[in-house]
Amino acid sequence: MSTREASGADEPVIEGLNDLIAPMRAGEKPKAEWRIGTEHEKLVYKRIVNGGDRHAPSYDEPCGIRDLLLNLREFGWEPIEENGHVIAMKGGDGTVSLEPAGQLELSGAPLETLHETCNETGRHLAQVKEIGEKCGVGYLGLGMWPDKTREELPVMPKGRYKIMMNHMPKVGNLGLDMMLRTCTIQVNLDYSSETDMVKKFRVGLALQPLATALFANSPFTESKPNGYLSYRSHIWSDTDPHRTGMLPFVFEDGFGYERWAEYMLDVPMYFVFRDGKYIDAAGLSFRDFIDGKLSVLPGERPTASDWWDHLSTAFPEVRLKSFLEMRGADGGPWSRICALPALWVGLLYDQDALDAAWDLVKDWSMEEREALRNGAPKLGLQAAIPGGGTMQDLGREVLDIAHRGLAARARLNVSGDNETGYLETLDEIVSTGKVPAERLLDAYYGEWDEDVSQVYRHSF
């Protein structure tokens, strides 16, 4: 989730549609300047050493989340504060921030190749592991806490989280689970024009259920199987219908920047950031804000920073800001953090691959897309696809396209290898038809003897 450092109150106010679509237009880049931004979250727990009990550490306990963040200074990271609390660290590899219950997120820097992306991920994990060894802290690469209740989890001192947690139960049953108990991997990608954005958005949205299946990694809730392979993905179906979902309008004629801005104007607000603090505006209308009629800031009108904040409060399967965000994957270990950007870069950053991927999905109806979205969290690669067959069959075709796309990019590392090797973990998943969650369930019913705590032996 984005980390704000300054108020936008002194900026020019938004005057109309051109200002609303300005962030999207500003995102247009020639192909040579396209970059890859990878974000991933991990669960943090106290290891069973020196009296640890695998609890999720609070913000301010010794070797808690604050100390983990501050210890990153030894690697050159610098703190970002909100109301006297360190809420993130910034450095050459992007930003390390805290999620609502202390999940740690790396929002990586925009990088040119997948080799750089995977190196960045490796550096980050090495750093937090080193700090974790000193602090008796470990990390889980899963899509959801396998054993913790909401009540067992801490809440981090970040203003926007308090507002969101107050609002979530009013609009859905699982929003607090989304905030407190889940982790994801996300990829941010560029586009060259509005037309290019539209095609990438449509391919990304249509194939997001495949990513959900391939990366499904959250089969346990409170120490028992929950009946899903990606419960994290299921949670989004009952979080807030005003800001989630498969967005039928994206596939309609005329979709573009203006239509996205109209959608975002209809997404209820959460907050406004002023003078270093978050003002509760949950459920209010950004349209009223533009007209100077926002009840919590009467007479005041929004700035570009307010609009940027608001763009970060919709949570569909693909999101547009000044780049496209692919949002369908559960959290996982190092190899899958590298595999997700490989999948989407292979599909979206080569024109022949993008065209081939669109040909696969362009004739699907909205009902078929929704059925795939609903089937993937529970059935994984065995979910039925439009026209017959299963998600496993679709996965073979999509990975073949992604391989061709990455080979065509021909971005080589120092050993002369292209980027296709980062797809190997997905090739293996599709070949066997068994997603990560199914392997966890096999272990649970087998060698773990139905003891979920064994998952702590298989962290990053």
CB 184 within 8 A of CB 145: no
* Structure confidence by residue, pLDDT tens digits, 411-438: 999 999 999 999 999 999 999 999 999 9
- Closest-CA residue to 110 (of 38, 40, 25): 38
Query: What are the chain's domains?
Result: 17-458 (3.30.590.20)
459: pLDDT strictly greater than 70: no
Quick check: 1 pLDDT over 80? no
Nearest of 263, 295, 291, 255 to residue 279 by alpha carbon = 295
State if pTM tops 0.85. yes
pLDDT value for 460: 63
User: Vertex 434, ends 41 and 342: CA angle to 5°?
Assistant: 50
Instruction: Give 449-455 contacts, CB < 8 A, sequence gap 24+.
Output: 452/146, 452/147, 452/220, 452/223, 452/224, 453/54, 453/147, 453/223, 455/140, 455/142, 455/146, 455/220
Tell me the residue type at 254. G
Lowest mean pLDDT among 48-57, 139-148, 392-401, 408-417: 48-57
Q: Are 365 and 418 in contact (CB under 8 A)?
A: no
Assess whether pLDDT exceeds 70 at residue 6: no
Say what the pLDDT of residue 48 is: 86
Average pLDDT over residues 112-133: 97
The answer to whether residue 8 scores a pLDDT higher than 70 is: no
Show contacts of 397-401: CB within 8 Å, 24+ apart.
397/360, 398/207, 398/210, 398/343, 398/347, 398/357, 398/360, 399/343, 399/423, 399/426, 399/427, 399/430, 401/346, 401/347, 401/353, 401/356, 401/357, 401/360
At 458 the pLDDT is 74
**Residue 379 pLDDT level (bands cut at 50, 70, 90):** very high
State the chain's mean pLDDT as an integer.
96
Q: Nearest 10 degrees: CA dihedral of 302, 305, 308, 310?
A: -50
